[in-house]
Homo-oligomer: A and B are copies of this chain.
Amino acid sequence: MRMAQVSEHSGVPIATIKFYLREGLLPRGRRISTTQAEYGEEHLRRLRLIRALIQVGRMPVATAREVLAAVDDESLSQHQRLGAAAWALPGPVPPEQDGSGPDETEQARREVSALLARLGWQAAGPDSPPGQALTAAVATLARLGYPCDADHLALCARAAERTAEAELDLLESFPDRAAQVEASVALTVLYEPVLLSLRRLAHVEESARRFED
C-alpha cells in the first residue's frame, strides 16, 4: 500500500501522515525504491491509534510518542506496557498555586493516600502519574471550596474497580500480547469520552427528576 492509499483508507491527509512519520509516531514503510515505500495494515491501525490519542485523548504529540514507544517496547513488562497510557496521559496539570493560603495540595495528598490505603490499592501510589493527577484534581476542588467527600470518592473508586475488571477481561480476550497492549491504550483513551458523556447524561436525567415540573 502506498502512502496515498493509507491516506485514503484512513481519511488522514497525506501531509499529516508525513508529519507523523517525521515526528516518529508512525513507523516508516518498507522502502521499495528511492521514492516509494510500502505500508501495511499495521500502519493503518497505528494511524488510527495516533488519531485517537491526539484528537480524542487530546494528547500532545510528544506524549503520544512516549506512549507509543512504551507500547512498542518489548523489553517492558506486560503490566508496564498496559499502563503506558495511564502513566503518560495525565500531563502534570499546573497546580495553579495560589501564593497565599493553606497548601491544599499537601492536604489532598494525604486524602489520596488514605483513600488508596482504604481501597487496598498498592500498585500505584499517590506519587505515580495518575496518583498525582488525582491529588491535583482533589486539591483544585478544595481550592474552589468544594470539599471532596472521602466516602463518595471510595464509592466512585469501587465503581471504577468493577469497570476496570470488565475492561481487563475484554483485553484478555485478545489473542496476542501486542494486540492487548494496543487495545489497552486505545480503550483507556477512547472510553473516557464515553464515561464522561454517560455522567453528563445521568446528571441531566437526575436533575430533570428533581427540578423539572
Contacts and interface: CB of A to CB of B under 8 A. Distances in A.
Interface stretch (A20-28, A30-38, A49-57, A67-75): A49-57
Interface residues of A toward B: which range?
35 or more
Oligomeric state, in number of copies?
2
A105 to B, nearest CB: 13
Interface in A106-148: 116, 121-124, 128, 130-131, 133-134, 136-138, 140-141, 143-146, 148
A146 B190 contact: yes
A121 B205 CA distance: 6
Contacts of A212: 77, 79, 123
Contacts of A145: 45
Contact of A168 (B79, B89, B206): B206
B143 A48 contact: yes
Nearest to A161: B202
Contacts of A103: none
A143 B44 CA distance: 12
Interface string A89-109: 110011011111000000000
A83 to B, nearest CB: 5
A148 B168 CA distance: 14
A168 B202 CA distance: 11
A18 interface: no
A96 B10 CA distance: 9
A123 B184 CA distance: 33
Given A58-B58, A155-B163, A193 B82 contact: no
A207 B184 CA distance: 10
Contact of A163 (B131, B137, B138, B152): B152
Interface of A: 8-11, 45, 48-49, 51-52, 55-56, 58, 77-79, 82-83, 86-87, 89-90, 93-94, 96-100, 116, 121-124, 128, 130-131, 133-134, 136-138, 140-141, 143-146, 148-149, 152-153, 155-157, 159-168, 170, 172, 183-184, 186-188, 190-212
